[in-house]
Amino acid sequence: MKVRHTLSAWAAAAVLLVAQSGRADDVMDQARKRYAAGEREYASGRYWQSAKAFEEAYDLSRKGDLLYNAARAYDRGEYYLRAIETYEAYLKAGAPPDVEQINLRIAALRKLLSQVQIKLGEKAYVFVDGHEYYQTPMNGTVSVDSGYHRIEVRAGNRFWAKEQQFVPGERYEFDAQLEEDRGGGQGLISAASVEESRSKPRTRQVALVVGAGGSVDVLGNNYPPHQASIVLGAEYRVKEGVRGAFDLGVKIPIEFLQSWTNAGLLIGARGALTPVPRIPFELVLSLDAGFATLDYRSSAPVSPKWPCASPSALSSCSIYAFRVVPAVSVAYRFAPSFELRAQLAGAELNLSDPLFDLRLAFGLQAAYRFF
C-alpha cells in the first residue's frame, strides 16, 4: 500500500507539472502573438495600439525589453507622458545596459510636456480627454501631453470645460468656474470622441515639401504645352482639430520640356479633412495663387502664332502670367516627421495677355515635418 500511495503521489506531481508546463506554453504563445501584433501596428504607424500590444505581451511574459518596445512606440507617436512612464517602468524592471541613454531621453521628453494648473478651491475631479486625471485643489501643476486636448472639471452636477492646443514646455493656468450641467451635450465627451482625440498625435506644425509631377495642356494653345515639373515649398499648420486642419504655405514650381522653361512663386492655403482621426490620412483641398514666368526657347522659325506680346526675330521670349491652382489631394503620414501626398486633380490656370491657358496638373510630394 505504501508503494502504491508513493507512486500515486509521484504520478499526481507529474500530471501537475505537465499541466503547468502546458499553461506556461499557452501564455508564452499569447505573448508572442501580442508581440507580433505590436510590430504590425508599429509598422503601420498606429503607435498607441502598438504600445498597448507590447504592454500586454509584457504582462504575459514579464520580459523587460517589451516595456522598452512599448515606450518607443509611445515616444514615436508623441504620447510623451506615457512614454516617460513606460521608460521608467523599463528601468525598474531590471538593470538594462542603456540606462544612461534612457535617462537622457526621459529628460528630453519632459521638456516636451505642457504644465496645467486648475485653480479651484473645492474638491472636484479633473478629466483630460474623458479620462480621470487629477483632483482639485491643486498645489501645483500637472504634466499633460502637448497637442489638442479637452480639459474638464466636474463636481457632482456642476462642471467646467476647456478645449485648446497645448504647446510643449508652456504653463497653463485656468480659473475653473463650475456651472450646472443642464445637458445638451456639454458634459463628458463620448468614448468614441475620447479614443479619436487620444489616437490622433499632434501634427508637427512646420513642413518642408518637395515633389514632382506634370501638367497637360487642355485648350490646345500649346503655350505652354505638356510639361514635367518639380515643386519646392514650405507650410505652417495654423490650426488643427480632431477632424481637420488649416495650413498656409508658399511654393516654387519649376516646369520644363518642349522648348519651355517656367518658374513661379505661389502663396496658398490648404484645408485638410481627417475622416478617421486614429488613421493619419487626410483629404486636402488647396488653392494657390501667384505669378509665373513662362520662358520660350526654340530654334524653330518665327510662327504667326507667336506667343509673345511683341514678336521679334529672336526665337525666344518671356511671358509673365498670374497663376491660380486649385487642387484635390490625399496625404498619408507614415511617421510624425514624414508625409507622402498625391495630387489627384488640379487645374493650373495661367492668365496673361495674350495668353490664357488651362492645364490639368498632377503630382506626388513628400513633406518633412518638424517643430
| pLDDT recorded at residue 315 | 56
Examine the domain organization and report whether 344 and 263 are in the same domain. yes
Residues linked to residue 360 through DSSP beta bridges, in sequence order: 216, 347
In the chain, how many domains are there?
3
What pLDDT was estimated at residue 105? 93
Q: Residue 51: its pLDDT value, please?
A: 93
- Please give the residue range of the domain that contains residue 184: 114-199
- Domain membership of residue 58 (yes or no) is yes
What's the rounded Cα separation, in Å, for the pair 240 and 333?
15
**CATH code of the domain in which 338 resides:** 2.40.160.20
Whole-number Å distance between alpha carbons of 189 and 183 = 12
Residue 85 falls inside a structural domain: yes
Which of 199, 214, 238 is where one domain is finished? 199
In a domain, 76, yes or no: yes
Domain-located, residue 173 = yes
> DSSP labels for 168-196?
TT-EEEEE---EE---TT-SSPPHHHHHH
**Within this chain, do residues 195 and 326 fall inside the same structural domain, yes or no?**
no
What's the chain's Rg over C-alpha atoms?
A: 30
Regarding pTM above 0.85, the answer is no
Q: What is the predicted pLDDT for the residue at 167?
A: 83
Query: At residue 221, what are phi and psi to the nearest 5 degrees?
Result: -70, -30
| Contacting residues for 251 by C-beta, under 8 A, at least 6 apart | 209, 231, 232, 233, 264, 265, 266, 268, 288, 290
pLDDT of residue 7: 36
Q: What is the pLDDT of residue 240?
A: 84
Domain assignment present for residue 308? The answer is no
Close Cβ partners of 153 (under 8 Å, ≥ 6 residues apart): 118, 120, 124, 125, 126, 127, 136, 159, 160, 161, 176, 178
- Residue at 226 is within a domain: yes
Domain limit, last residue, from 47, 76, 110: 110
For residues 90 and 147, state if they share a domain.
Answer: no
The answer to whether residues 99 and 55 belong to one domain is yes
Which pLDDT value is given to residue 215?
A: 93
Residues 189, 130 contacting (CB under 8 angstroms) = yes
pLDDT given for residue 9 in this prediction: 47
331 shares a domain with 249? yes
Same domain? 68 vs 139 = no
- Amino acid 21: pLDDT: 54
What is d(CA 81, CA 58) in angstroms, rounded to the nearest whole number?
Answer: 19
3-class state of residue 6 by DSSP: helix
- Domain containing residue 66: CATH number: 1.25.40.10
Final residue before a domain boundary, out of 148, 169, 199: 199
Residues in the chain with pLDDT values less than 70: 1-24, 182-202, 277-278, 298-316, 354-355
pLDDT of amino acid 201: 57
**CATH assignment at residue 145:** 2.60.40
Q: Could you tell me if 89 and 142 lie in one domain?
A: no
